[in-house]
Amino acid sequence: MSRNYESLHDPNAEYTMRELSAETMDVTGSRGGGRDVEITDVQTTMVDGNFPWTLVRVYTDAGVVGTGEAYWGAGVPELIERMKPFVVGENPLDIDRLYEHLIQKMSGEGSVEGVTVTAISGIEVALHDLAGKILDVPAYQLLGGKYRDKMRVYCDCHTEEEADPEACADEAERVVDELGYDALKFDLDVPSGLEKDRANRHLRPGEIRHKAEIVEQVTERVKDKADVAFDCHWTFSGGSAQRLADALEEYDVWWLEDPVPPENLEVQEEVTKNTVTPIAVGENRYRVTELRRLIENQAVDIVAPDLPKVGGMRETRKIADVANQYYVPVAMHNVASPIATMAATHVGAAIPNSLAIEYHSYELGWWEDLVEEDVIEDGYIEVPEKPGLGLTLDMDAVEEHMVDGETLFD
């Protein structure tokens, strides 16, 4: 039975994904034990947090609903709506098959990388929550079991005086002593007052001294009470990044994150291999196919995928498996709501080389109100034993904080 390009990418095509799957993968027959379930709908809503979080829900004819989250960004809800016909009628337990078919179906719309992968990630996370509920197991069990009962969280810290080394040190001390975190991160792509032209990515000597002073004061203030990483947000040239990394070698830097733009792997590799300051990279790469090159070229000391952006839970697991072959730890970038944060927790529990998960919302007083359960306690997240992700959306809180113009889930 032949197919043309248009039919493979048309949600109204004559043949459903189930028919295509049966032809290509011999997926036939029904399942016992309450596992013969079909997806009936996919819905999204956006919550106005410190980022516009895109929450995703997958509904079934069994009355079980899975909740996921896609990385924030324009066009994600529209892409998820576009993909809905490709999953309605399918069994949600076929997570890998559905993920690969969404990648294939959306290939003409950019499923190699970018926002299309992000949209697929949101559905994939919801499928893990749904499958765990159907099978009555926590999501980490779907990924092979767990190595740890709780996940370490690193707190992304900010101050109103972000370029003042002493203010950064004060905030570091407060977050450790008052909030209970033993892992922190601060930004280094902050103005020093010495810049001549930030567009050329070049760091003048005084700028490097200023950034080194931030690192010195923060690390000296917390000493062994906390590990501290520093983020550059892809700001500097290769030479400037190298000189900055060299200047930080004498301090207790947990890692230096994204010192150069993400496109040129060779420049990234050069910076990483020519400093003993640990270099972390990964949030702006997509799927294991892209991060594999970073790892295999040993262009990264710590890999930092963002789970609801990179491809979802199983894709993050695949990245971690490649990294483990090179003895590279995984520190998951995370600017999400409690939903994707908990998805990262389940993956972090299931991989041996998990280092920590980022928390980017400590200044947002209602972050944890979105769910009925407690999430972070004393800088750690306990891995839930409840089915799926182990979280329950508080619909009143979701409705209260929805982006203007959004509608609540059914």
pTM of the model: 0.91
C-alpha distance from residue 352 to each of 151, 325, 331, 347, 348 (Å): 12, 11, 12, 10, 8
Average pLDDT, the chain: 92
Number of separate domains in the chain: 2
Same domain? 33 vs 123: yes
The DSSP letter of residue 222 is H
Helix, coil or strand: residue 400: helix
In angstroms, the CA 317 to CA 80 distance is 22
Mean pLDDT of 60-86: 95
CATH number at residue 41: 3.30.390.10
Q: Is residue 401 part of a domain?
A: no
Q: Is residue 294 part of a domain?
A: yes
Last residue of a domain, which of 118, 137, 156? Answer: 137
Evaluate if residue 151 carries a pLDDT over 90: yes
Q: Is residue 5 part of a domain?
A: no
Q: Is residue 375 part of a domain?
A: yes
Same domain? 122 vs 249: no
Q: Is residue 392 part of a domain?
A: no
Confidence of residue 410 (pLDDT cuts 50, 70, 90): confident
Domain that holds residue 66: 11-137
Q: Is residue 157 part of a domain?
A: yes
Cα–Cα nearest to 337, from 66, 155, 68, 124:
68
Q: Which residue has the higher pLDDT, 21 or 293?
A: 293
Same domain? 219 vs 118: no
Same domain? 49 vs 99: yes
Same domain? 304 vs 332: yes
Mean pLDDT of 197-219: 94
The per-residue pLDDT for 29 is 53
How far, rounded to the nearest angstrom, does the alpha carbon of residue 164 sit from its chain's CA centroid? 29
Mean pLDDT of 203-216: 96
Cα–Cα nearest to 373, from 138, 56, 52, 125:
138
| Assigned token pair, 380 | 């750690």
Q: Is residue 306 part of a domain?
A: yes
Cα–Cα nearest to 317, from 90, 93, 130, 128:
128
Last residue of a domain, which of 83, 115, 137? Answer: 137
Same domain? 197 vs 99: no
